[in-house]
Amino acid sequence: MWEQVSSLADELRDRSILDLFAQDPDRFSRFSVRADDLLFDFSKTSIDQQVLTALIALTEAVDLPAKRAAMFTGEKINETEGRAVLHTALRNLDGTPVMVDGHDVMPEVLDTLDRMEAFATALRDGSFTGQGGAITDVVNIGIGGSDLGPVMANLALAPYCDGPRVHFVSNVDGAHVHDVLAGLNPETTLVIVASKTLTTIETMTNAETARKWMAAKVSDTGAQFAALSSNAAGAAEWGIAPDRVFGFQDWVGGRYSMWGPIGLPIMIAVGPENFRAFLSGAQAMDKHFRDAPVEENLPVLLALVGIWHNQGLGHATRAVLPYEQRLLRLPAYLQQLEMESNGKRVSMDGGPLPVDSGPIVWGEPGTNGQHAFYQLIHQGTRIVPCEFMAGIEGHEPDLAHQHDLLLANCLAQSEALLTGRSLEEATGLMEQAGFEGDELARQAAHRVFPGNRPSTTLLYPKLTPFVLGQIVALYEHRVFVEGVVLGINSFDQWGVELGKELAKTLTPILAGEQGTEGKDGSTAGLIAAIRAGT
Ligand code: F6P
């Protein structure tokens, strides 16, 4: 199935993207697509109609429409865990039935959403109180999928945050919980333990620390705790009353979970109405993904561009570059979404993947990244496909001139990557600067930009809750399409387990309760150095 894409990649590896524009004046409209008010431009890549047809053939070979339908209708597509994959049900605000094992899950989903809204409203209007009165601060303790989404969204939606202050603790490093709790008043703080399983060592350790911190001042700590978890029995053991436990089913994967109870810290910060708008944006993208023909389907095209760059041309990494300071944590969020989902070396049947697994995702907001790592993107020896994104409008009308500057920088970067600067141009510039002879050649060489480096741009009107929902759902579906084409299970994460198991064996060794027998030489050496304090 990969032959055609591979042979096109070999043939077209060095083709000029600028020539493609010269040959086709309509290239921008032909290789850009809209979904509602999002615009995705992939004309600054080496994809032409022939490549696109070959990429679309990949989706046909795996029967993408059937796989997509299987996800939306609750089939157990997470085969290694025997689970359905239904985060889309969490934003199915119409409540149309979604069946799992012959049972409609929507009444429970909508009931939980109502309960979340009632609780968030009570926190926001001060009717839910702690020992010291209205809640001023909320501390969400979770990690991975129980942290990254809400952290990312609360930063992204800062202009809408008008509820209690929401803080996040994730790392087992005591410095994290210490620094977050320092300065908070336990009597007016609510702690949310966000863990699908309530067994994650980092989260449970931090929650215990927070409970002790609160117990020093608050007589009934359970009354100022809430839990977001599938493990109702575990929450009860923590003394958290059932009305403050918000559950979800095993068909919600950790990294896909912020649309339901794991999103409570978002709802507390921005309010139920804005949270519903966030869900609506995602729901709009779900509809587009289900209904739009493949040539106009934004998640499918975004996935295929990534596949062309990674599995086709062999560019192992992908930079995500939001020109939106408030999307500061989007790259980290997408790292988990993409790399925990598609960072796998075997296909669904356990056999080796015929091509590389999903890409290495990294990035930072522009313009900051420009002053850090863009040097390598422009002039390094490796090609890094870049995904730019930007809002046409900012939230600060009085700072519109800064927003214009931001957009100019975003466009300048993708233009520079495409057009580059030739040796001739660089030589001319250096001549003007007064260089000649060998020194002219040497100075000019450093100022050459090879260009022809691929990038895509996602434009959105303004970073509202609705738009954020659209963008995140777009990336979720992109990861899904990529996983289907690669033939892997995007919804398990066995690769994180071994390290967790070994950490358990190392804890008593570090505490000096056990010896290092059976450990490799390096690990034993490091343990000895830690014990010796050097
Ligand atoms: O790191 C593995 C993982 O299972 C993630 O997939 C998940 O998001 C995270 O741990 C947290 O899990 P939990 O919500 O059960 O604490």
Please report, for the domain that includes residue 513, its CATH number: 1.10.1390
Looking at the structure, tell me whether residues 39 and 148 fall in a common domain. Answer: no
Distance of CA 494 to the CA centre of its chain: 19
State yes or no: pLDDT of 94 exceeds 90: yes
Q: Which amino acid is at 448?
A: V
CATH code of the domain covering residue 185: 3.40.50.10490
For residue 487, is it within any domain? yes
For residue 472, is it within any domain? yes
Tokens at 373, concatenated: 């790592």
- The pTM for the full model equals 0.97
* pLDDT tens readout for residues 227-265: 999 999 999 998 899 999 999 999 999 999 999 999 999
Q: Residue 106 in contact with residue 89, Cβ under 8 Å? A: yes
User: Could you tell me the distance, in angstroms and rounded to a whole number, from the CA of residue 198 to the centre of ligand 1?
Assistant: 10
For residue 79, is it within any domain? no
User: Could you tell me the distance, in angstroms and rounded to a whole number, from the CA of residue 200 to the centre of ligand 1?
Assistant: 7
Active-site annotation holder among 103, 178, 287, 371: 371
Look at residues 248, 226, 247 and name the one whose alpha carbon lies nearest to residue 238: 226
Tokens at 145, concatenated: 């999928």
For residue 284, is it within any domain? no
Looking at the structure, tell me whether residues 215 and 315 fall in a common domain. Answer: no
Look at residues 48, 56, 59 and name the one whose alpha carbon lies nearest to residue 9: 48
Say whether 519 is catalytic.
Answer: no
Give the least confident one: 19-23, 42-46, 355-359, 509-513: 509-513
- Residue ID of nearest Cα to ligand 1 atom 16: 195
Separation of alpha carbons 285 and 484, rounded Å:
18
Looking at the structure, tell me whether residues 335 and 482 fall in a common domain. Answer: yes
Q: Which domain holds residue 524?
A: 498-532
Tokens at 139, concatenated: 């501390």
Active-site annotation holder among 103, 212, 287, 500: 500
| Termini Cα distance of the chain | 54
Task: State whether the beta carbon of 357 lies less than 6 angstroms from ligand 1.
Answer: no
Looking at the structure, tell me whether residues 150 and 175 fall in a common domain. Answer: yes
For residue 528, is it within any domain? yes
State how far the alpha carbon of 202 is from the alpha carbons of 50, 177, 246, in Å: 49, 11, 20
SS3 state at 439 = helix
Looking at the structure, tell me whether residues 118 and 261 fall in a common domain. Answer: yes
Among 83, 85, 143, 262, say which to mutate for ligand 1: greatest number of ligand atoms within 8 Å of CB: 143
DSSP state of 425: H
- Residue ID of nearest Cα to ligand 1 atom 6: 254
Kindly state the average pLDDT of the residues 185-199: 96
Looking at the structure, tell me whether residues 299 and 318 fall in a common domain. Answer: yes
Angle between the N-to-C axes of helices 423-432 and 437-446, in degrees from 0 to 180, rounded to the nearest 10: 120
Length of the chain: 534
Task: State whether the beta carbon of 149 lies less than 6 angstroms from ligand 1.
Answer: no
* pLDDT tens readout for residues 371-417: 999 999 999 999 999 999 999 999 999 999 999 999 999 999 999 99
Looking at the structure, tell me whether residues 268 and 315 fall in a common domain. Answer: no
Tokens at 14, concatenated: 């060095």
Q: How confident is the model at residue 354 (pLDDT cuts 50, 70, 90)?
A: very high
For residue 307, is it within any domain? yes
Active-site annotation holder among 202, 338, 340, 387: 340
Kindly state the average pLDDT of the residues 423-442: 97
State how far the alpha carbon of 479 is from the alpha carbons of 108, 279, 302, 347, 490, in Å: 27, 19, 9, 15, 8
State yes or no: pLDDT of 4 exceeds 90: yes
Look at residues 88, 164, 176, 181 and name the one whose alpha carbon lies nearest to residue 126: 164
Task: State whether the beta carbon of 143 lies less than 6 angstroms from ligand 1.
Answer: yes
Q: How confident is the model at residue 534 (pLDDT cuts 50, 70, 90)?
A: confident
* pLDDT tens readout for residues 284-319: 999 999 999 999 999 999 999 999 999 999 999 999
Tally of domains in the chain: 3
The pLDDT of residue 338 is 98
* pLDDT tens readout for residues 54-84: 999 999 999 999 999 999 999 999 999 999 9
Task: State whether the beta carbon of 144 lies less than 6 angstroms from ligand 1.
Answer: yes
Find the angle CA(202)-CA(206)-CA(211) to the nearest 5 degrees.
150
The atom of ligand 1 lying closest to the CA of 200 is 16
Say whether 309 is catalytic.
Answer: no
Q: How many CB atoms neighbour CB 181 within 10 A?
A: 20
The pLDDT of residue 239 is 86
For residue 522, is it within any domain? yes
Q: What percent of the chain has pLDDT over 90?
A: 99
For residue 222, is it within any domain? yes
Say whether 340 is catalytic.
Answer: yes
Looking at the structure, tell me whether residues 252 and 300 fall in a common domain. Answer: no
Task: State whether the beta carbon of 197 lies less than 6 angstroms from ligand 1.
Answer: yes
